């Protein structure tokens, strides 16, 4: 490339006038985005115009410069003053124009590629323009503008004006010289405030909660700006059709542009909904924002983006969705006044539709080829931007998909546009087809391949021998081999064979025969397998009846099944009162009187009763070939085909247990039976892991949690088969760690209707990183489909309905329920003539063919692995005579369910938030009340000067004081001020190994410019201290702070400085020490407070945590150090607004806000602490500090919320945690979904009464965890229960029910109370509260027991179930004499203040 002539120099920023113009709202949003990623060319708007001929460079240059002179937008730069950006118009251009000569096209391409991505320093330049000349070839104009000064229309205006000026110059005339309207002029004319109507509209819209769609299960937003553009020309045929629709009566809008926009927005919304599962997606639509004819002629940035949301119902068609989109679009335009777009509105979409109607005309006689160049970057918040263009204005529409790389990988970037086009073609083919039935997937996608292989699977499947035949063959092979072990001893195959013959014969004598249903109501003893085999030998069907279920439910099953004969045992007599013939195992002989010949028959092997939606359990009839096929596959898959021992420990009424019975019986393994206790929860699984005497354990994730919680390494157990419910990856990982790496963990998926298990995935700790372990791939001879509502395979990574099919795979349907059977067992479109089972589960297929599970589609839920129909529970609740109405649902404590204080933004997930009905938190209310009294605590700068002067007298070394400098704005400002009081300051900063480079650089520059000595403090124990802090406080800041204080004290002592000055902010002082109680009337004596703070400080340093052990030495052996060195907090003496802090720093020192960390922090480990705290404690550890920043006016509520909602990069955090040696797994305790029952009752029906009533009718897992009395059940307009209006269970509700919360009365109760609160994650808890009422479950019981043991109390998990209140448990554990706590003396603080004081210095290491 040679530089041609003429070229403008890069302009010098000379102001045309001093008038700085504020930014428009649209510019503000761009400015913010630019400030977040200043080095990424996200906002470069670069054009390439390829002319047909060679242009005259001199004329072009003259033309271009004339336009710059007429257009002040091209002479505008942007500067930040006091944190406020302003635009300033210069005399000269705010960018360069060059003429460049190139030898060949490659050089042009290379030069442009480099130029496109060059970021702008908008305080110096906002555009670059170059005419690219080729020898004897056509010219190209490259024009790159920062989005702050342009949009697509503006670019076209510049193009048009340059063309006009060029033609004038070429024809020997002067180019036009009249000034062009500019955005700056427009900005001045726009009203400052949006009109009230628009404001109300947006407030209403933005108040609705929204979840951003996760396209193809990817993250909703990007994490970086890198992006790829995929351009798809629609082609003449589609364009013509589209125009046809746009012009038709049904789809025409006010203008052709609006019509096309509506159609494409409809397709986009439909596509998003289909590939994300979101039923009411919101997209960002770009509006041109030019409100008048003059504005439409102005150059500048006018575009604004507004959210447009439309709901897609089950039967929604393109036509009906189009009507909604068109209406929403008009509504949006009506309220799209100036200033209406807000940062909050920008957070309501992650997909943007930019329909650009701009067309470029001729230049020098002919229109050039126009390209809007790809910068390779996008707004990090946008997963996708879809730009729709027709720059030539010839009706050739192009779609440009700008895919954010952190959301879309290369594979998806190829697939997604094809899915979009199928949706578009769907609309063009027939707008009345339901959107949910459109086939979108490519033929080569994994889900399509699954469907295609169905026939092959069927063709290749071979039948498996019946389980009875297999067992008899095994008896013949090795009659003495042990097949069952239980507490009574070992049973050989031959003995089991004989005993099962005896059962068959006794049953026949009792009147049962082939085709009969025979109930088996037995505990888990050796007779259980014998009885089951006996029933099968008779040609009858087993109906397993769980002996621990309450009589009411047992009766319901007996009635539904119409059982006549039930095998039971003497100790279970009296558990039901039915009139069936009972065959007691004691009455059955060890062997039959005469040999029994088995009958095969077609009867189902078993009928398993599951929860039914109508209120009565329904029976799933599983055939013998299906059982045989499953048992063989399970044996091969989990026992590796060898003679393994299987643990029989789970409930027999649950089809999970089928595996541990029949896989060994039919395939040469053995069963180790663990008999249940009939009272209390069945914790047999714990014994299985204690004994470690089997090879394979089939269990639910809930079981595994119990085992891991109580766990220790196992030696023999080598395979765990997880079934029943979703398996969290964290749990699988923890199981590997606890039990041993040799243990294989299989995640088995399967509904009862598809015979126990039909899919399998072996957990791979290295590869399985999604929150749930995948459900894997199909079992042998099994077909798995993931389909849309039209029964087409869904695209890979998209959630669809999961179907199961295959020869000898499915149950024969539901007992006596033909209608329900035909509803769920439907024709298989891929295997004509066969059925498939609609599981009601959601799943997605990964491109490698592995399936992931995504929950249930219907009212059915799974708790602890057990399938539950909420309808059945509802019927049971309604059976109570006082209950008039009720509704059942699932409730899970989740961040999205929190509300935020209207004033400070603290979330209701913060344990002490106490948000009241006006939406204000207890902290804000308290503060209102005591802030004026608390003011007595603060002093003025003269006070500080006196303290420093005193220190100067006392010092024994060179320094008056040590200043603890974090390097943040607050401590830096404090240092500057302190330096004015005395130059003898030694600044000290803890280098914890994670201090950002820019923060260090700041500290170095600032101390140097102030002429202040500075030291970095370090300790080799830092990582150990972090780990200890994470374990104790679930954060890193406490450890960091204690280190700073300890090392700071040492430094002061060693240097002979009698004073330490901290940069603790006023918010931090309120947060950690100025509790309202201190200022109760009669208190508030500042000397008292100071004395207490000093006492707390001494206790704090004496407390033996890792920081103390590793750092203290002899420093705190006595309290003399506190006589030698005094602490003062700078901001106790100085009250300064945050704006002044920034302004001061900008004026006086070379301090810049670090850009290499998160937001308000200097420290790169901060996120790790936040992540651990959020996971373990359920809320953000900065929730409280930031709320104080807001109260102090140092942050706005929105800023605080935005920071609290920042996403944490888990990969980076995990790496940091590993680096410092924090290896604890991060499973939050007891956070699974719970059943909640809202009920309306006559009179006062207490939740406890209702709970006891249900306890007699429902199994424990079906009993709701929460009962909430309500006056009525709120309904939506459609007459459905409006769950959003129901009060949440939890602290407020339980408080409303319990008028009195009894506080712990003894130290023992207090110990248990602390443990309960920690395990159950509740701040409010009374000692009379029932364990279940407050959300307890088995895992919580085990956690309580283990923590109680840690506190020296002898309390077992079973004790927790039996003694269900803290008071009762304390009475049980209270063997030792108990000392009641002394009543509180005036000088002692209550628990809350005390805790605050103990954490006095610990909350945060940033400022």
Partner 1 sequence: MLDTIKSFIETELLSGREIDSGENLLLSGLVDSLGVMRLVAFIEVKFGLKVPAADIKLVNFATLDAIVAYVGARAEQ
**DSSP 3-state of 1263:** coil
CA dist 1308 and 1366 (Å) reads 9
**Angle CA 1186–1187–1190, to nearest 5:** 85
- Report, in Å, the least distance between residue 234 CB and partner 1: 22
According to the binding rule CB under 8 A, does residue 248 interact with partner 1?
A: no
Question: What is the torsion angle, in degrees rounded to the nearest 10, for the CA atoms of residue 831, residue 836, residue 839 and residue 840?
Answer: 80
According to the binding rule CB under 8 A, does residue 288 interact with partner 1?
A: yes
- Report, in Å, the least distance between residue 158 CB and partner 1: 20
Cβ proximity to partner 1, 301 vs 672, nearer residue: 301
312 exposure class (CB count in 10 Å sphere: 0-12, 13-18, 19+)? buried
Determine contact, residues 1321/1230, Cβ cutoff 8 Å: yes
CA dist 650 and 684 (Å) reads 8
Determine contact, residues 1330/1221, Cβ cutoff 8 Å: no
Cβ proximity to partner 1, 194 vs 728, nearer residue: 194
Among 81, 292, 892, 1276, binds partner 1 (CB under 8 A): 292
Cβ proximity to partner 1, 32 vs 292, nearer residue: 292
User: Taking the mean position of all CA atoms in its chain, how far away is CA 226?
Assistant: 23
The tokens describing 989, both together, are: 């900063």
R_g over Cα of the chain: 37
According to the binding rule CB under 8 A, does residue 123 interact with partner 1?
A: no
Cβ proximity to partner 1, 394 vs 1109, nearer residue: 394
Determine contact, residues 483/492, Cβ cutoff 8 Å: yes
Among 333, 494, 693, 850, binds partner 1 (CB under 8 A): 333
The tokens describing 709, both together, are: 């919680």
Cβ proximity to partner 1, 326 vs 685, nearer residue: 326
Q: How far is CA 1029 from CA 332, 574, 1108, in A?
A: 50, 56, 12
Cβ proximity to partner 1, 251 vs 927, nearer residue: 251
Cβ proximity to partner 1, 359 vs 482, nearer residue: 359
Among 121, 203, 294, 1085, binds partner 1 (CB under 8 A): 294
- Report, in Å, the least distance between residue 352 CB and partner 1: 18
Among 20, 252, 494, 1281, binds partner 1 (CB under 8 A): 252
Whose tokens are 């750092």? That residue is 1111
Cβ proximity to partner 1, 168 vs 252, nearer residue: 252
What are residue 837's phi and psi, to 5 degrees? -105, 125
Cβ proximity to partner 1, 253 vs 1318, nearer residue: 253
- Number of C-beta neighbours around residue 314 at 10 A: 9
CB proximity list for 344: less than 8 A, separation 6 or greater: 206, 1198
- Number of C-beta neighbours around residue 1123 at 10 A: 9
- Report, in Å, the least distance between residue 326 CB and partner 1: 8
Task: Quickly list DSSP for 413-479.
Answer: HHHHHHHHHHHHHHHHH-TTSBGGG-----TTSHHHHHHHTHHHHHHH------HHHHHHHHHHH-T
Among 76, 144, 258, 844, binds partner 1 (CB under 8 A): 258
- Report, in Å, the least distance between residue 329 CB and partner 1: 8
CA dist 9 and 38 (Å) reads 24
Determine contact, residues 1010/987, Cβ cutoff 8 Å: no
Give the interface segment with partner 1, choosing from 285-293, 446-454, 637-645, 699-707 (CB under 8 A): 285-293
Task: Tell which phi-psi region holds residue 915, choosing left (phi > 0), alpha (psi between -120 and 50) or beta.
Answer: beta
Beta bridge partners of 363: 366
The tokens describing 875, both together, are: 């019927």
According to the binding rule CB under 8 A, does residue 1284 interact with partner 1?
A: no
Cβ proximity to partner 1, 334 vs 1109, nearer residue: 334
Q: How far is CA 590 from CA 367, 438, 537, 854, in A?
A: 99, 62, 16, 49
Give the interface segment with partner 1, choosing from 76-84, 253-261, 1061-1069, 1251-1259 (CB under 8 A): 253-261
Convert residues 575-604 into a mask of x (bound to partner 1 by CB under 8 A) and - (unbound): ------------------------------
According to the binding rule CB under 8 A, does residue 327 interact with partner 1?
A: yes
CA dist 700 and 682 (Å) reads 13
- Report, in Å, the least distance between residue 309 CB and partner 1: 15
Cβ proximity to partner 1, 291 vs 1322, nearer residue: 291
According to the binding rule CB under 8 A, does residue 291 interact with partner 1?
A: yes
Cβ proximity to partner 1, 299 vs 1108, nearer residue: 299
**Angle CA 292–298–302, to nearest 5:** 75
- Number of C-beta neighbours around residue 492 at 10 A: 16
Tell me the site size for partner 1, rule CB under 8 A.
Answer: 24
Convert residues 196-225 into a mask of x (bound to partner 1 by CB under 8 A) and - (unbound): -x----------------------------
According to the binding rule CB under 8 A, does residue 850 interact with partner 1?
A: no
* Element (DSSP H or E) covering residue 1131: none
Give the interface segment with partner 1, choosing from 288-296, 798-806, 1071-1079, 1255-1263 (CB under 8 A): 288-296
Among 290, 385, 632, 792, binds partner 1 (CB under 8 A): 290
Pairing assessment for the beta strands 800-805 and 783-787 based on DSSP bridges: antiparallel
- Report, in Å, the least distance between residue 254 CB and partner 1: 5
Among 118, 334, 1224, 1392, binds partner 1 (CB under 8 A): 334
**Angle CA 1363–1368–1372, to nearest 5:** 85
CA dist 375 and 371 (Å) reads 12
According to the binding rule CB under 8 A, does residue 257 interact with partner 1?
A: yes
Cβ proximity to partner 1, 197 vs 1080, nearer residue: 197
Q: Which of residues 1355-1394 bind partner 1 (CB under 8 A)?
A: none
- Report, in Å, the least distance between residue 305 CB and partner 1: 14
* Element (DSSP H or E) covering residue 1001: helix 997-1010
Cβ proximity to partner 1, 124 vs 297, nearer residue: 297
- Report, in Å, the least distance between residue 333 CB and partner 1: 4
- Number of C-beta neighbours around residue 421 at 10 A: 18
Give the interface segment with partner 1, choosing from 293-301, 618-626, 678-686, 1063-1071 (CB under 8 A): 293-301
Cβ proximity to partner 1, 153 vs 705, nearer residue: 153
- Report, in Å, the least distance between residue 235 CB and partner 1: 27
Give the interface segment with partner 1, choosing from 90-98, 247-255, 1078-1086, 1297-1305 (CB under 8 A): 247-255
Cβ proximity to partner 1, 253 vs 1228, nearer residue: 253
According to the binding rule CB under 8 A, does residue 25 interact with partner 1?
A: no
Cβ proximity to partner 1, 328 vs 466, nearer residue: 328
CA dist 706 and 685 (Å) reads 8
Q: Helices in 190-278 by DSSP H: which ranges? A: 196-207, 235-247, 256-276
Among 71, 100, 312, 336, binds partner 1 (CB under 8 A): 336
Among 7, 230, 253, 920, binds partner 1 (CB under 8 A): 253
Pairing assessment for the beta strands 835-845 and 800-805 based on DSSP bridges: antiparallel
136 exposure class (CB count in 10 Å sphere: 0-12, 13-18, 19+)? exposed
Give the interface segment with partner 1, choosing from 101-109, 252-260, 668-676, 1187-1195 (CB under 8 A): 252-260
Give the interface segment with partner 1, choosing from 251-259, 782-790, 1158-1166, 1236-1244 (CB under 8 A): 251-259
Cβ proximity to partner 1, 333 vs 952, nearer residue: 333
Among 254, 487, 949, 1391, binds partner 1 (CB under 8 A): 254
CA dist 762 and 768 (Å) reads 10
Q: Summarize as ranges the residues that interact with partner 1 (CB under 8 A).
A: 197, 252-255, 257-258, 287-295, 326-327, 329-331, 333-334, 336
């Amino acid at each position: 490339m040679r530089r041609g002539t003429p070229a403008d120099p890069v302009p010098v920023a000379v102001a045309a006038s001093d008038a700085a113009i504020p930014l428009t709202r649209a510019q503000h949003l761009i400015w913010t985005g630019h400030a977040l990623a200043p080095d990424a060319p996200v906002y470069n708007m670069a054009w390439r115009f390829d002319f047909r001929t060679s242009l005259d460079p001199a004329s072009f240059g003259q033309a271009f410069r004339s336009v710059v002179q007429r257009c002040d937008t091209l002479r505008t730069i942007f500067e930040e003053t006091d944190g406020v950006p302003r635009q300033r118009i210069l005399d000269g251009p705010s960018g360069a124009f060059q003429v460049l000569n190139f030898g060949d096209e490659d050089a042009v391409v290379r030069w442009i590629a480099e130029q496109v991505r060059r970021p702008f320093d908008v305080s110096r330049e906002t555009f670059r323009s170059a005419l690219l000349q080729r020898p004897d070839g056509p010219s190209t104009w490259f024009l790159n503008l920062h989005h702050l000064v342009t949009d697509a229309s503006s670019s076209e205006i510049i193009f048009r004006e340059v063309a006009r000026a060029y033609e004038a110059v070429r024809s020997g005339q002067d180019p036009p010289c009249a000034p062009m309207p500019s955005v700056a002029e427009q900005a001045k004319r726009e009203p400052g405030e949006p009109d009230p109507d628009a404001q109300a509209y947006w407030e209403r819209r933005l108040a609705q909660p929204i979840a951003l769609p996760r396209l193809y299960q990817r993250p909703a937003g990007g994490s970086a700006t890198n992006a790829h553009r995929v351009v798809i020309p629609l082609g003449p045929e589609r364009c013509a059709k589209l125009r046809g629709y746009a012009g038709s009566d049904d789809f025409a809008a006010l203008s052709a542009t609006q019509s096309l926009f509506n159609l494409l927005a409809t397709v986009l919304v439909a596509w998003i909904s289909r590939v994300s599962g979101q039923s009411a997606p919101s997209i960002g639509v770009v509006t041109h924002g030019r409100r008048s004819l003059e504005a439409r002629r102005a150059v500048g940035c006018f575009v604004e983006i507004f959210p447009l949301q439309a709901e897609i119902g089950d039967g929604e068609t393109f036509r009906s969705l189009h009507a909604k989109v068109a209406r929403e679009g008009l509504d949006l335009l009506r309220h799209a006044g100036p200033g209406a777009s807000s940062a909050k509105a920008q957070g309501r979409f992650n997909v943007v539709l930019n329909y650009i109607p701009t067309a470029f005309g001729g230049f020098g006689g002919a229109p050039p080829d126009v390209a809007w160049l790809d910068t390779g970057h996008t707004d990090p918040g946008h997963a996708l931007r879809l730009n729709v263009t027709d720059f030539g204005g010839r009706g050739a529409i192009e779609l440009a998909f700008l895919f954010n790389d952190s959301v879309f990988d290369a594979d998806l970037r190829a697939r997604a546009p094809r899915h979009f086009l199928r949706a578009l073609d769907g609309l063009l083919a027939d707008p009345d087809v339901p959107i949910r039935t459109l086939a979108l997937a490519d033929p080569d996608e994994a889900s399509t391949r699954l469907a295609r292989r169905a026939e092959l699977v069927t063709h290749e499947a071979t039948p498996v021998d019946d389980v009875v035949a297999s067992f008899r063959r095994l008896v013949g092979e090795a009659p003495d081999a042990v097949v069952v072990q239980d507490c009574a001893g070992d049973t050989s195959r031959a003995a089991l064979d004989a005993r099962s013959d005896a059962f068959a014969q006794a049953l026949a004598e009792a009147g049962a025969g082939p085709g009969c249903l025979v109930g088996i109501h037995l505990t888990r003893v050796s007779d259980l397998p014998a009885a089951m085999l006996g029933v099968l030998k008779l040609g009858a069907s087993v109906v397993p009846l769980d002996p621990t279920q309450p009589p009411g439910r047992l009766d319901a099953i007996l009635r539904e099944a119409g059982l006549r004969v039930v095998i039971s045992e003497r100790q279970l007599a009296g558990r039901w009162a039915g009139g069936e013939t009972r065959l007691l195992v004691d009455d059955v002989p060890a062997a039959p009187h005469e040999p029994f010949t088995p009958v095969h028959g077609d009867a189902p092997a078993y009928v398993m009763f599951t929860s039914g939606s109508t209120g009565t359990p329904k029976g799933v009839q599983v055939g013998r070939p299906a059982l045989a096929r499953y048992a063989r596959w399970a044996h091969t898959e989990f026992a590796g085909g060898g003679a393994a021992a299987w643990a029989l420990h789970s409930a027999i009424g649950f089809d999970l247990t089928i595996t541990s019975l029949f896989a060994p019986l039919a395939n040469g393994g053995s069963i180790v039976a663990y008999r249940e206790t009939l009272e209390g929860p069945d914790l047999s699984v714990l014994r299985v892991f204690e004994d470690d005497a089997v090879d394979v354990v089939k269990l639910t994730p809930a079981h595994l949690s119990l085992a891991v919680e109580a766990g220790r390494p196992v030696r023999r157990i080598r395979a765990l088969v997880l079934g029943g419910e979703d398996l969290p990856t964290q749990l699988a990982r923890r199981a590997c760690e606890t039990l041993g790496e040799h243990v294989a963990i299989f995640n088995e998926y399967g509904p009862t209707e598809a015979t126990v298990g039909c899919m399998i995935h072996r957990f791979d700790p290295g590869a399985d990183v999604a929150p749930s372990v995948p459900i894997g791939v199909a079992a042998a001879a099994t077909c798995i489909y993931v389909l849309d509502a039209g029964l087409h395979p869904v695209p890979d990574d998209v959630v669809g309905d999961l179907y199961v099919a295959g020869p000898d795979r499915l149950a024969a349907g539901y007992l006596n329920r033909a209608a329900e059977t035909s509803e769920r067992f439907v024709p298989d479109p891929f295997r004509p003539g066969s059925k498939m089972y609609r599981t009601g589960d959601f799943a997605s297929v990964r491109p490698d063919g592995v399936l992931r599970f995504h929950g249930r589609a219907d009212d059915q839920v799974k708790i602890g692995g057990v399938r539950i129909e909420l309808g059945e529970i509802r019927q049971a609740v309604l059976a109570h005579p006082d209950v008039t109405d009720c509704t059942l649902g699932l409730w899970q404590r989740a961040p999205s369910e929190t509300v935020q204080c209207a004033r400070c933004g603290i979330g209701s997930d913060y344990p002490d938030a106490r948000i009241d009905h006006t939406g204000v938190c207890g902290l804000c209310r308290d503060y209102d009340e005591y802030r004026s009294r608390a003011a007595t605590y603060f002093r003025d700068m003269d006070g500080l000067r006196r303290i420093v002067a005193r220190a100067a007298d006392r010092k024994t070394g060179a320094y008056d004081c040590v200043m603890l400098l974090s390097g943040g704005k607050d401590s830096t400002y404090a240092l500057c001020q302190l330096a004015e009081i005395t130059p003898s300051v030694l600044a000290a900063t803890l280098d914890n190994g994670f201090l950002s480079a820019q923060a260090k650089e700041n500290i170095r520059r600032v101390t140097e410019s102030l002429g202040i000595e500075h030291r970095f403090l370090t300790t080799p124990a830092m990582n150990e201290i972090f780990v200890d802090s994470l374990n104790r406080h679930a954060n890193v800041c406490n450890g960091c702070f204690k280190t700073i204080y300890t090392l700071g004290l040492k430094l002061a002592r060693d240097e002979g400085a009698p004073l330490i000055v901290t940069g603790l902010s006023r918010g931090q002082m309120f947060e950690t020490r100025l509790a309202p109680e201190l200022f109760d009337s009669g208190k508030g004596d500042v000397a008292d407070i100071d004395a207490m703070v000093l006492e707390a400080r001494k206790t704090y340093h004496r407390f033996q945590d890792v920081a103390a052990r590793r750092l203290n030495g002899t420093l705190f052996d006595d309290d003399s150090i506190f006589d030698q060195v005094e602490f003062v907090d700078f901001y106790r003496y100085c009250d300064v607004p945050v704006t002044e802090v920034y302004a001061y720093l900008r004026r006086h020192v070379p301090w810049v806000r670090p850009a290499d960390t998160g937001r308000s922090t200097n420290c790169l480990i901060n996120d790790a602490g936040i992540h651990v705290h959020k996971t373990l404690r359920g809320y953000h550890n900065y929730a409280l500090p930031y709320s104080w920043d807001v109260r102090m006016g140092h942050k706005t509520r929105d800023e605080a919320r935005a920071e609290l909602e920042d996403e944490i990069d888990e990969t980076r955090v995990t790496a940091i945690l590993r680096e410092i040696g924090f290896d604890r797994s991060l499973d939050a305790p007891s956070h699974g979904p719970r059943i909640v029952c809202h009920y309306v009752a006559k009179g006062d029906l207490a939740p406890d009464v209702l709970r006891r009533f249900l306890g007699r009718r429902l199994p424990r897992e079906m009993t709701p965890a929460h009962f909430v009395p309500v006056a009525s059940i709120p309904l939506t307009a459609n007459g459905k229960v409006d769950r959003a209006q129901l009060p949440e269970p939890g602290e407020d509700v339980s408080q409303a029910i319990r008028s009195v919360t009894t506080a712990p009365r003894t130290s023992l109760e207090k110990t248990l109370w602390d443990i309960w609160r920690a395990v159950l994650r509740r701040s409010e808890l009374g000692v009379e509260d029932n364990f279940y009422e407050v959300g307890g479950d088995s895992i919580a019981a085990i956690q309580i027991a283990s923590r109680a043991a840690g506190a020296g109390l002898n309390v077992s998990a079973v004790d927790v179930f039996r003694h269900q209140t803290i008071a009762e448990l304390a009475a049980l554990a209270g063997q030792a004499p108990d000392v009641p706590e002394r009543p509180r003396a005036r000088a002692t603080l209550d628990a809350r203040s005390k805790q605050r004081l103990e954490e006095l210095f610990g909350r945060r290491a940033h400022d």
